[in-house]
Amino acid sequence: MTTAPAHRTEGTAVTKDDQHRPEAAAAFDALGAEYEKAFAGSKTHRRSLEWLLARLAPGSRVLDVGSGTGRPTAETLAAAGHEVLGIDISPVMVELAARQVPAAAFQCADIRDVPLADASFDAVCVYFSLLQLDRMEQKALVRRLVRLLKPEGHLVLATVPLDVEGVDATFMGQPVRVTSFPAQDLTALAEEAGLEVLAQEASLFTPAHPDARPEPHLFLHCRRRSTTAPHA
C-alpha cells in the first residue's frame, strides 16, 4: 500500500460513465460482514497466504487488491509484520477493514484510479477481485499490477475459473455481472503479463451462506520475471 498511516480510510468519487463500478460497490456494500463469514472456512485461501508468507522478507510491502473486510488477507499479513495497503471499491468493506485490521492501511477507490509507483511492492494479492471487470480490463489490470511489483516480487491471483463473459448472476442474494477465464486462459494471461506461475491449487468451495452455491476456485502463485518486462 501507500505510505499512509495505518487504519486510514479515503473516499474517492465513483464515475457515472462506468456502470460496473457502482454496481459492484452496491453489491458488496450490501454483503458487508456476511461476505467475510461466508468465506472464512476457505482452507485453500489460508494455504495461499501461508505460501506467500513463506516467501516474504521481514517488513515487506504488500498490496491487497479488493481487500474486503480485511480478513483474512490483510489481517494475516499485517500480523506477520508486513506493511499492507488494501484497496476496495466498497465503502462499507473499507470501513469494516479499517476497524478490524488497524495495523493495515485501506483506501476506498477503484484500483485503476490509484496512483502507485512501479516496482514499489514486494507482493500483490488479488483474491477474487477481478470478476466484475471485463476481459480486456482484467488483462490490463494484471499487467499494471505486475509493473507495481519489484523484480521477482510475488503475486497471488485467485478467481472462479469459468468461461463466462458479462453474465448476470446472483451472488449471495445480490445481483452481479461476472466475467472470468477458464483455468488455462488465466494461466496464459498471467504469463503474458510477465509472471512465472510457480504453483497453483484448484478447489471446490461452498460459501457459508443460505443463498450460496458450490463454486470452483483457482489460486495461482506467481513471481514477476526479473529479466522479461510485462507486455504493454
3-state DSSP assignment of residue 87: strand
Question: 23 falls in which pLDDT band (50, 70, 90)?
Answer: low
User: Per-residue pLDDT averaged across 170-186, rounded?
Assistant: 88
Q: Is 172 left (phi over 0), alpha (psi -120 to 50) or beta?
A: left
pLDDT averaged over every residue in the chain? 86
* pLDDT surpasses 50 at 164: yes
Q: Give the residue with greater pLDDT, 99 vs 210.
A: 99
pLDDT recorded at residue 16 = 36
**3-class DSSP assignment, residue 2:** coil
Q: How far apart are CA 129 and CA 9, in angstroms?
A: 19
**Share above pLDDT 70 across residues of the chain, in percent, rounded to a whole number:** 84
> Quick one: pLDDT at residue 32?
64
**Span 110-120, pLDDT tens digits:** 999 999 999 99
- Taking the C-alpha atoms of residue 85 and residue 61, their distance in angstroms, rounded to an integer, is 8
Q: 156, 125 in Cβ contact below 8 A?
A: yes
What is the pLDDT at residue 128? 95
> What backbone torsions phi and psi does residue 139 show, to the nearest 5 degrees?
-60, -45
- Under the banding of pLDDT at 50, 70 and 90, the label for residue 37 is confident
Structural domains of the chain in order of their starting residue, each with its CATH number: 20-224 (3.40.50.150)
Using DSSP's 3-state secondary structure scheme, residue 178 falls into strand
- The enclosing H or E element of 202 equals strand 195-205
Q: Cis (ω within 30 of 0) for the bond into 175?
A: no
DSSP per position, 215-229: EEEEEEEEEE-SSSP
Q: Which three cell numbers stand for residue 87?
A: 484497496
Query: Would you list the DSSP string of 104-164?
Result: SEEEES-GGGS---TT-EEEEEEES-STTS-HHHHHHHHHHHHHHEEEEEEEEEEE-----
pLDDT given at position 193 = 97
Residues, the chain: 232
Q: By three-state DSSP, how is residue 173 classified?
A: coil
Query: Virtual CA dihedral for 151, 129, 138, 171, nearest 10 degrees?
Result: 160
Query: What's the CA gap between 85 and 105, in Å, rounded?
Result: 5
Higher pLDDT, 228 or 182: 182
Residue 11 has pLDDT above 60, yes or no: no
Across residues 144-157, what is the average pLDDT? 97
DSSP string, 49-76: HHHHHTTPPTT-EEEEET-TTSTTHHHH
| Burial degree of 226 (CB within 10 A; 0-12, 13-18, 19+) | exposed
